[in-house]
A and B are shown apart, each in its own frame.
Chain A
C-alpha cells in the first residue's frame, strides 16, 4: 500500500494514511473491513507488526494506522516517506457490533496510544451520529505531549453533540493545561456517566483496563455492555502461530474485540 499522508501525533507516535495499489485488494477490504479489525503492517527486509485499523468502517477509501516507533519494524515504518510502499495483511479478527449500539448512549474510555482502536469506533458512530444517543469520551495520557489525535480532540471538544473529558496523569500537565489532571479510572468515576442504556468501549494499557473495569462496575455498568479490544503480540493473524491466546481464546480469531464479561472469564494473570 502507498503512504499518501502522515502525521506526527506525539513524540514517537505517527499516523499514516495508506491507499490500496490494487483495485481487487481494495474491493476485498471494502467488503470485509469492520471497525475493530486489525492488520499486519510490514516493510520488506524488516518484518511485520500488528496494529488495529484506526480509520472507521464508514471511511473505506484508505486505511489509517497509528503506531509508536519502538522496534525494528515500527522504525522502518516511521522512516518510510510519503509515496513509499508498505505491506498490509488483513483485515483480521472480529469487530465491534456497531448496529447493536444503535439507539444507545456511548461511553468511550481510552488511554495513551490506545486511542487509535477507540477512534475507529468513535468515528464509525460520529459519521452516523443520528443513530446514537449521548456520546461521552474520556481520554487520558501520561502527559499533554503524549495525547494523540490532538486535532481531532479539538474537533470533538468543539462539537456540541460530544462530551469530551481529557486528562493527563499527575505531573504530565503543561502550564496552560485547562483540562483534568488524574488517572483515567479516577477521572471516569468523577465524570460519572450513567450506565442507563449505555455501551462502554474501553481501550488502554492492561493496568488502565483493569482499574477502569473496576470503576465501571462501581458506576453500575453491566459487564455485557462493556467492550474492549485486546492487542496481544501476533505473527500470523490466522490462529496458528500460537502466541496471542489468553487461556483457550485466540485473540486473533475470536477477538480482538471482547465484552468485559468475556474478558472476566479469561485467566486474569495471562492478560
Chain B
C-alpha cells in the first residue's frame, strides 16, 4: 500500500493550498508557449507536456529583476533595496531535470556571497516533482547520470499511476511533508501500481567527455570551430537552460529616479566579455561555445562538484540551428574513443 494522490482530488488540493496562503504554480500552456505559471484551478495544469518550453529557473531567477530603486535629490540620493515579492509557493508538477537544476545552482548562488534573491525564493518554495513517463528525442537525463525519477532538488516526488489517474506520493523533505500535511485527508492508501518510467536512451559517455574536456590539449582543438560553425549566438540555449545563471546589471530610468536591475545575460553574446578597449577574451563564437561546454562540464564541477547540466535537452530542442549540448557531447564521445 502506498500513499496516493488521485487526480480527481487535485483541484481540492489546489484550493486547500491556496487557502493556506500558498501560490500554486505548475506546468501550463499559455499563448503558444508552455511554462510554469500560477494557477487557480487544477484544470489549468498540463501534465501531458514532456516538459514546458521554459524552465523552472524563471521562478527563482527571473529574466529581469529590480534590485534597487533610486531617487536623486539636490543634496542626497535615496535608495530602496527591492527584495523579491515574498510569499510561500508550491510548484506542482515540476520535471525532475528542472528540480535538480535548481539544486545544481544552489552552491553557485551560495558561495562566498549568498544571493538573497535566489535563496528567499528557494526557501519559500515547495517543489513537487512528477516523474516522467514519456520523453522525446531531446531528453538526455540518463546521459547525465540522472533518471526520469531523479529526486534531487525535489521536496515531494510523485510517480504517475499506471491508470494515469493519480500519483504515488514520496515525501522527501520536511518542507514537502509540511505542505502535504494540510492535504493529508485528500490522500488515500492504495495498491495502485506506478506506470513505467520513460525510457531515455543514453546518448553519450559523460565520463569520457569530461576526461576529454579536462585535457588542456583539447582546448585549442579544431573541434570547437567545427562544432560551433553554425551557432548564430542567439542565446536561446542559455536562456532556456535551467542551470545557466549568467546575468548583467543595468540601470533603467533617468537622472532623477529609476531602477537598477539584474537581467539574464549569456556567454553566447560577444559583448558579454568585451573590454572597453575593444579587446575581447572570447572573441569568436567558437570560443564562446567552448566556454559554455567547459563551464558546464569542467569548470563548474571543479568548483562545486556537480555538472552544471540536468539533462533537460532544451538547448538542443529549441536551438534554431540544431546545435546543443547533446550533439556536442556526442561528438566529443566519438573523439575520445
Q: Taking beta carbons and an 8 Å cutoff, which residues of A are in contact with B?
A: 42, 44-49, 68, 70-71, 74, 85, 205-206, 231-233, 235-236, 238-248, 253, 267, 269-271
Bound: A239/B219 CA distance, A:
23
Closest beta carbon of chain A to B191's beta carbon, Å: 48
Task: Report yes or no: A232 in contact with B77, Cβ–Cβ below 8 A.
Answer: no
Residue in A44, A206, A242 whose CB lies within 8 Å of B77: A44
Contacts of A269 in B (CB 8 A): 219-220, 287
Bound: A238/B109 CA distance, A:
9
A-B interface pairs (CB < 8 A), number:
99
Task: Report yes or no: A245 in contact with B219, Cβ–Cβ below 8 A.
Answer: no
Closest beta carbon of chain B to A209's beta carbon, Å: 11
Task: Report yes or no: A239 in contact with B258, Cβ–Cβ below 8 A.
Answer: no
Interface majority SS (helix, strand, loop, mixed), chain B: mixed
Contact with A along B243-257 (1 / 0, CB 8 A): 001111111011110
Cβ of B229 within 8 Å of any chain A Cβ, yes or no, is no
Q: Taking beta carbons and an 8 Å cutoff, which residues of B are in contact with A?
A: 70, 72, 76-77, 79, 108-109, 111-113, 115, 216, 219-220, 245-251, 253-256, 258, 260, 265, 267, 272-277, 279, 281-282, 287, 291, 294-295, 298-299, 302-303
Closest beta carbon of chain A to B214's beta carbon, Å: 10
Contacts of A248 in B (CB 8 A): 294, 298-299, 302-303
Task: Report yes or no: A45 in contact with B251, Cβ–Cβ below 8 A.
Answer: yes
Bound: A269/B273 CA distance, A:
13
When C-beta atoms are compared, the residue in chain A nearest to B72 turns out to be: A44
Q: Other CB < 8 Å A-B pairs besides A232-B273, A271-B281, 10 of them?
A: A45-B251, A45-B255, A68-B276, A71-B276, A205-B279, A235-B248, A240-B245, A242-B267, A248-B302, A270-B281
Contacts of B72 in A (CB 8 A): 44-45
Contacts of B256 in A (CB 8 A): 45
Known contacts A45-B70, A206-B279: does B251 contact A243 (CB below 8 Å)? Answer: no
Known contacts A238-B113, A267-B219, A269-B220: does B250 contact A205 (CB below 8 Å)? Answer: no
Most buried by B among A42, A49, A71, A235: A235
Interface majority SS (helix, strand, loop, mixed), chain A: loop
Known contacts A233-B275, A243-B273: does B299 contact A44 (CB below 8 Å)? Answer: no
Task: Report yes or no: B276 in contact with A70, Cβ–Cβ below 8 A.
Answer: yes
Bound: A114/B291 CA distance, A:
27
Contacts of A45 in B (CB 8 A): 70, 72, 251, 253-256, 258
Known contacts A46-B251, A248-B303, A267-B216: does B281 contact A240 (CB below 8 Å)? Answer: no
Known contacts A270-B282, A270-B291: does B247 contact A242 (CB below 8 Å)? Answer: yes
Task: Report yes or no: A47 in contact with B250, Cβ–Cβ below 8 A.
Answer: yes
When C-beta atoms are compared, the residue in chain B nearest to A49 turns out to be: B276
Bound: A244/B245 CA distance, A:
14
Bound: A239/B302 CA distance, A:
14
Closest beta carbon of chain A to B243's beta carbon, Å: 11
Contacts of B258 in A (CB 8 A): 44-45
Bound: A64/B211 CA distance, A:
46
Bound: A48/B248 CA distance, A:
11
Contacts of B303 in A (CB 8 A): 248
Task: Report yes or no: A85 in contact with B302, Cβ–Cβ below 8 A.
Answer: no
Contacts of B260 in A (CB 8 A): 44, 47
Known contacts A247-B299, A267-B219: does B277 contact A240 (CB below 8 Å)? Answer: no
Residue in B246, B294, B299 whose CB lies within 8 Å of A243: B246
Contacts of A49 in B (CB 8 A): 276
